Amino acid sequence: MVVPGLDVEKNGMTISPQIDPRIQRTRTVVLSHTYDLLVKEGFGGVSVDEVSRRSGVAKTTIYRHWPTRTRLLLDACSQLGVAAEFTSSGSFETDIRSHLLNVSERLTTSGWAKVLPSILDAGEREPDVAAVQKALQQIWAGQVAQIVEAATDRGEIDARADVKNAAALVLGPLYYRRWFSREPTDPAFIEQVAVAVCTVMVAPSA
């Protein structure tokens, strides 16, 4: 978002003064309610009118901050990706297992799990949405990549294994369960996925 009149030219250098608290408040309140509605109704179910009703912020004010409905939604979507800190346990297998559990739980609890199909859908037709989805996707795939990289540094990874496919092998089955077959993930399933991933990725040394 570009807020005109915020950056001020002064003495030859642009300084950013304190943001007007009214602007600050409007932006956070509107984005927060947009996010809630997004989770509840999906990408196509969010209207500016409804956001205005729920947030108590006038529709005209919303349009003063975001030029169009889509831009507001994209802004709200950007807050979905939360990059978590990663520290390896020292074992690829352990890292994968814990990551599988981690993702599996977030798939059942977190809000974005409900929204994502609508984002995928919109991304099939609107390039802007596809771009945001791609950014989010890279965050999540990046977490898997971190695990693989750490293991590669330790020499755990099979040289023949294609690292770029790891994310698909790890996340694919989980996503499948959540959105396609709609079955809950039990520990036995997680275990089988972990075994499948490790047999493909880990070097057959010791």
Partner DNA sequence: AGGCTACAGTACGGTACTGTAGCGTTTATC
Partner DNA sequence: GATAAACGCTACAGTACCGTACTGTAGCCT
Give the Cα separation of 22 and 78 in Å (integer): 22
Alpha helices in the chain (DSSP H): 21-41, 48-55, 59-65, 69-77, 92-109, 112-123, 127-153, 166-175, 187-201
Give the Cα separation of 121 and 146 in Å (integer): 28
- Two tokens at 125? 């037709």
Span from 42-50, 89-97, 165-173, 175-183 in contact with DNA (CB under 7 A):
42-50
Chosen residue from 36, 39, 42, 50 binding DNA by CB under 7 A: 50
Closest approach of DNA to the CB of residue 12, in Å:
18
- When asked if residue 47 is in the footprint of DNA (CB under 7 A), the reply is yes
Taken in order 61, 66, 72, 76, the sign of the CA dihedral is negative
Chosen residue from 23, 42, 81, 111 binding a second copy by CB under 8 A: 42
- When asked if residue 162 is in the footprint of a second copy (CB under 8 A), the reply is yes
- When asked if residue 59 is in the footprint of DNA (CB under 7 A), the reply is yes
Give the Cα separation of 60 and 77 in Å (integer): 22
**CB 77 within 8 Å of CB 142:** no
- Contacts with DNA by CB under 7 A lie at 3, 5-6, 17-23, 25-26, 46-50, 56-61, 63-65, 67-70
- Contacts with a second copy by CB under 8 A lie at 41-45, 114, 117-118, 120-121, 123-125, 130, 134, 137, 141, 161-162, 165, 167-169, 171-177, 179-182, 188-189, 192-193, 195-197, 199-200
